[in-house]
Amino acid sequence: MSYFDAASAAPLHPVARQALQASLDEGWADPARLYREGRRARLLLDAAREAAAEVVGCRPDELTFTSSGTRAVHSGIEGALAGRRRVGRHLIVSAVEHSSVLHSAEVHEAAGGSVTTIPVDRTAAVSPSSYATALRPDTALACLQSANHEVGTEQPVAAVAEACRAAGVPLLVDAAQSLPWGRVEGDWSLLTASAHKWGGPSGVGLLAVRKGVRFAPQGPVDERESGRAPGFENIPAIVAAAASLRAVRAQAAVEAARLRELTERIRVRVPELVPDVEVVGDGMRRLPGIVTFSCLYVDGETLLHELDRAGFSVSSGSSCTSSTLTPSHVLKAMGVLSEGNVRVSLPPGTPSEDVDRFLSVLPGAVSDVREKLGAPTAPTPASPSPLSSPSPSDALVVNALGKLCPIPVIELAKVIGDVPVGGTVRVLSDDEAARLDIPAWCEMRGQEFVGEEAAERGVAYVVRRAV
């Protein structure tokens, strides 16, 4: 079995396993106690904090261990907002942040705060100027991930941090995906990360708060971790997390070069091997091990099952693979195709042969799924219809109500050749994914997406035949 979902959780690193087993016998006591066992546990905790702080690039007393990366994000945002409540209650986030950041923003807004969401381009990158423009006198905090978790695009953190620093606004960076590969550039104020992203044990997060940042921990007061992470420290897991982070970083340069070659192989070969594919994310400014692509006319959930049966564990941002039946907020913000989405995230040590085998299996898997769905096998040829455009009353209507992705797009592709050039097709759909996938199909096929119209049920998506 080839595990290609390291962006969700990396396999436990051998160093983490060794450190965890060794510290189970030494780190079980209360590190706050003065007797021998307590002192021994405290030494382990302090050493782990120093090791992790060195990798992060902060002082040990600026680093807090939390119960998860999500908890680190929630605590960091809550504490920073509370610490600057006299300044104002304005929060800035990007549209492609991890859900933990966006959920915190929703809670803040529901409590009376204001939130500005910064849009991204089709590669999932933000513009530093957009952050600079969004900064206001009442801005309490800005948040920006160092790299996107779904498509791997690296963000211009240093430039955004410079703009925030000039305005006197702290910047919180979610570095969960990038920290194993290197320090986060720029003059950031707060940073969060999660151990299971780099091969440490789950249940350990990092929260770094620079000295001088106004920070007020929320919730009941607790003496643990400077009051920023209540509860008894899981010292064996913390020791394993710090040890594996240091080990991964020591090999980062060599392994990053190797994984970049493998992911570039996927980026180049997939469109050559599989027709109607859109590779998404920045082609240059991206993490070493992540490559994401979307396959037209494909049910993402079925494709993932096909790949699983073939021995590959991958993930997807397609709506058909989520419990909410809505497309990934990242793909939606990018405005790219969401159906048949596959994220390949290679863990360190992935053999080149596994990637080659994936490339040999993928075309057949996609073809099988498309065949089951009755998808067109080639672009619809141009019809010899006259160039005159019919009146709106003569426009072709496709009723795709009650049908989920990618059926509405498949039905559109089947009939577009039946209308004259300049004529329109109205696709009735109540699937949220259609709002993203029909315009994306138009761009891939050279057709014109006119827009949306109100309908008795769902939405009418209007497409004009251009070719």
Positions marked catalytic: 320
Q: How many CB atoms lie within 10 A of CB 318?
A: 30
Q: Work out the burial of residue 352: count CB atoms within 10 Å of its CB; fewer than 13 is exposed, 13-18 middle, 19 or more buried.
A: exposed
d(CA 115, CA 183): 28
DSSP 398-432: EE-TT--TTHHHHHHHHHGGGS-TT-EEEEEE--T
Helix (H) or strand (E) segment spanning residue 3: strand 2-3
For tokens 């891939």, what's the residue?
444
Report yes or no: 239 and 99 within 8 Å, Cβ to Cβ: no
Who's near 406: CB < 8 A, 6+ residues apart?
296, 297, 298, 299, 320, 339, 340, 373, 375, 433, 437
Task: Give residue 68's identity as a one-letter amino acid code.
Answer: S
User: Quick one: tokens of 100?
Assistant: 């933990």
Report yes or no: 296 and 276 within 8 Å, Cβ to Cβ: yes
Radius of gyration of the chain (CA): 25
| CA angle in degrees (0–180, nearest 5) for 184-189-215 | 145
